Amino acid sequence: MRKWFSFPIVEGEASRQAHCDLPKGTFERECGKEGFFGPATHMYHLHAPTGWKDWEGDLRPHAFDTNRVDDTTDNPMTAPVLLSNANVRVRIWRCEAEMDYLVRNGDGDDCLFVHQGEGSLYCDYGHLHFSEGDYLIIPRSTNWRIEPSSPVTLLMIEATHGSYLAAEKGIVGDHAVFDPAVLEHPRIDDEFVAQRAEPKEWQVYLKSRQALNRITYPFNPLDAVGWKGNLTVFKLNWRDIRPLMSHRYHLPPSAHTTFVAQGFVICTFVPRPIESDPGALKVPFYHNNDDYDEVIFYHKGEFFSRDNIHPGMVTHHPCGFPHGPHPKAFAAGARATKTETDEVAVMIDTRMPLDMGEAAKHTELTDYVQSWRTPPTA
């Protein structure tokens, strides 16, 4: 049991309530530990904490465009790596044709977010239809393949040597954010039975230690006639998420946690009302989350804290410097011209620093670091 030193102090001019009623003409910056769960201090500055004039060095905000990743390979287990560390690997994969082979990830659980398209997933547990906006959670070493009915783009998030767990919902209870009853699992239905009818050899591509093994069977390994238990593939669509919100206080990203894994969390930002209290911040607050790297994949909508960002793009803010809304977004929030957000985005917060893969480096917007200039560059 860890016990942090805790001694609330007020020095100079400060707000009585974080993220609300800031001293006139100031910008709030939260310095926090343990991803919004540890001790924190709120600073009140005369200038925006992201108002740098220039930046030299590699520890900087990054943005890249997955729409420009040309070759995503013909096998999801060899999909291009965007970002990775010892706990997580983030990849992008596109599939337009039926997989006539199976894959199995021996390195960890997979979370597949369906950015585009729809189709059928066939796996050890049966058949499951999926569509745009679905999360598919696939336990480690599960055999699976997909048959797209329209071209599919997947954001693949591997919990390397780890598992996906439910987020702790605390006093709001298990039915908040999303009710477990909305989760769907594969079925041994007519389509599943039909897909194993043709007698032929099947190959399974097993990824282990980030290398592929190819296993050939004289039959279709997806031949289960039944199963029972509480381990399975399941899906959750972002439309079934009912976000926590407060009309008087901007909640931190941790309130939107969807999945928890070793060394990282996945949060989902979905449309919600914007804070209506006159004194409450209307955009994410500037913050130093100095224990975590922050990654956001932009799925759809208008991203209210960002400028010049479109669906399919990714931002990566390494720990170690303040970040927050772009100048235009901050100004729009202050004017309170909108009453609700319409963005959908997937956030990955990692405890260990992330390395950029070649796919990210080749599609990076190198001038992204300058987008916080005040006034912003043209």
Q: What is the pLDDT of residues 327-367, one digit of tens each?
A: 777 776 667 678 888 899 999 999 999 999 999 999 999 99
Identify whether residues 263 and 307 lie together within a single domain: yes
Assigned domain for 330 exists? yes
| Closest alpha carbon to 76 in 163, 125, 143 | 143
Scanning the structure block, which residue is given the tokens 């997909």?
146
304 and 203 fall within a common domain: no
pTM assigned to the model: 0.93
The answer to whether residue 2 is domain-embedded is no
pLDDT at 200 over 50: yes
Q: Put residue 100 in one of left, alpha, beta given phi > 0 → left and psi -120 to 50 → alpha.
A: alpha
- Does pLDDT of 376 surpass 60? no
Place of tokens 């769960």: 37
Same domain, 188 and 299: no
Number of domains in the chain: 2
Same domain membership, residue 254 and residue 183: no
% of the chain at pLDDT higher than 70: 97
Q: Is the pLDDT of residue 378 over 50?
A: no
Domain contains 44? yes
Residues 211 and 81 in one domain: yes
Last residue of a domain, one of 218, 238, 258: 238
Do 195 and 77 lie in one domain? The reply is yes
The SS3 assignment for 260 reads strand
Residue recorded with tokens 């943005």: 63
Whether 31 and 89 share a structural domain: no
The β-bridge relationship of strands 202-208 and 102-105 is: parallel
Residues 50, 55, 60, CA angle at the centre, nearest 5°?
70
- DSSP letter for each residue of 263-305: TEEEEEE---BPP-STTB-SSPPEEEETT-EEEEEEEES--TT
On whether residue 222 sits in a domain, the answer given is yes
Least confident of 16-20, 101-105, 256-260: 16-20
Inside any domain, residue 21? no
Final residue before a domain boundary, out of 215, 238, 261: 238
For residue 124, what pLDDT band results from cuts at 50, 70 and 90? very high
Q: What digits encode the pLDDT tens for the residues 299-331?
A: 999 876 677 889 999 999 999 888 888 777 777
Answer yes or no: is 34 within a domain.
yes
Q: What span, in angstroms and rounded, lies between the C-alpha atoms of 147 and 150?
A: 9
Position 31 pLDDT exceeds 50: yes
Residue 172 burial (CB < 10 Å; 0-12/13-18/19+)? exposed
**In terms of domains, do 113 and 204 share one?**
yes
The boundaries of the domain holding residue 157 are 72-163+179-238
Same domain, 136 and 32: no
Residues 131 and 259 grouped into a single domain:
no
Per-residue pLDDT, 252: 84
Q: Domain for residue 15, yes or no?
A: no
Confidence band for 251, pLDDT divided at 50, 70 and 90: confident
Q: Which of 238, 254, 287 is the last residue of a domain?
A: 238
Q: What is the arithmetic mean of pLDDT over 166-195? A: 95
For residue 295, pLDDT beyond 50: yes
Residue 326 is predicted with a pLDDT of: 79
CATH of the domain at 95: 2.60.120.10
The answer to whether residue 378 is domain-embedded is no
- Are 222 and 363 in a shared domain? no
Co-location of 119 and 184 in the same domain: yes
